[in-house]
Amino acid sequence: MLDFRQLQVFIAVWDKRSLSQAAEAIYLTQPTVSAHLKALEEQLGVRLFDRSSREVIPTAAGEVLYPFVQKILRLNRQAEESISGLVGEGRGVLEVGASNIPGQYLLPAILGQFRKHRPMVDIKLIIADTRSVVEDVLGGQIELGVVGASMERKKLDFEPCFSDELTFVIANDSPLAGKSQIEIEEFLNQPLIVREKGSGTRLTIERALAQYGISLDQLNIVIEMGSTEAVRQGVKAGLGSAFISKRAVQDYVECGILHTVPVRGIEIKRNFYMVTKKNRTLSPINAAFMDFIRKKSVAVEDSLLRP
């Protein structure tokens, strides 16, 4: 039987790629970490890390072991949280995956409010693109995600929670500045910045433009970027224009750094979704957070996120 403490040490070394940093993270001495790791390797009969003076790199055996250890530790945490929930302690770890817009502009405020009600809860917010978050929920790495688009996944539930609008944003020195709106033909000729494949924003734009008979191949795309903030800065720098969440550019528009101009006939609205795995019983912490979002979403939008 594998020793639980040794597995915690293994994960810490994996995450930090350093024995000394791993020791600091889990409040052990470096010799103790080395001893735990050596004992685990001896029990399994394989070397789990190649260790040098500069870095610690997982071996093939370490790569194989990692997802199993992740699952063991996650189940242990869920067991503790479930028992805490039953006895009313409200302890545990809330681990939420989120795509860029909800992760950067929605959830921080919501998580702050939630923690006021649950001060004993530790919170971990993981931000990635929509596809990555969805796959993590599907694979069991996380229980709950909040993403910018629904996807065809039979084993997942997508529950709408917040609304969003994508606006066409231009730089101050754009030839379009000052126009009350532009025609679709003008839009098609504009140099555009778009999000990377897998982004919920990109998927929403693709779906919306398809309703008007427009594909991404018809657009003058000059660059793809991996985050909303990168797109926002790209527009500011004059690299091109872009459809961006109204929430993400509100401050720049109010300050006059960027401008929005409607494209005649094109309106892009969407929902954000809470995504969970079907037939999976959520831990009490995750279930409580989902319920909190359901009850507070309207109030949060009105008080904190009103355009």
Return the pLDDT at 90: 57
Which CATH code is given to the segment(s) 4-83?
1.10.10.10
Decide which of 3.40.50.970, 3.40.190.10, 3.90.1200.10, 3.30.70.980 is the CATH code for 166-268: 3.40.190.10
Residues of the chain with CATH 3.40.190.10: 90-161+271-304, 166-268
- What's the whole-model pTM score? 0.63
Over residues 211-259, the pLDDT tens digits come to 888 988 889 999 999 888 999 999 999 999 999 998 889 889 888 899 9
The mean per-residue pLDDT over the stretch 122-147 comes to 91
Over residues 78-107, the pLDDT tens digits come to 776 666 654 454 567 889 999 988 998 889
CA distance 289 to 276: 12
Confidence of residue 179 (pLDDT cuts 50, 70, 90): confident
Return the pLDDT at 173: 84
Please tell me which residue, 57 or 52, carries the higher pLDDT value: 57
Topology adopted by domain 90-161+271-304: D-Maltodextrin-Binding Protein; domain 2 (3.40.190)
Q: Which two tokens stand for residue 111?
A: 């998580």
Confidence of residue 117 (pLDDT cuts 50, 70, 90): confident
CA distance 105 to 95: 17
**Residue given tokens 């994508």 in the structure block:** 166
Return the pLDDT at 177: 83
What percent of the chain has a predicted confidence (pLDDT) above 90? 36
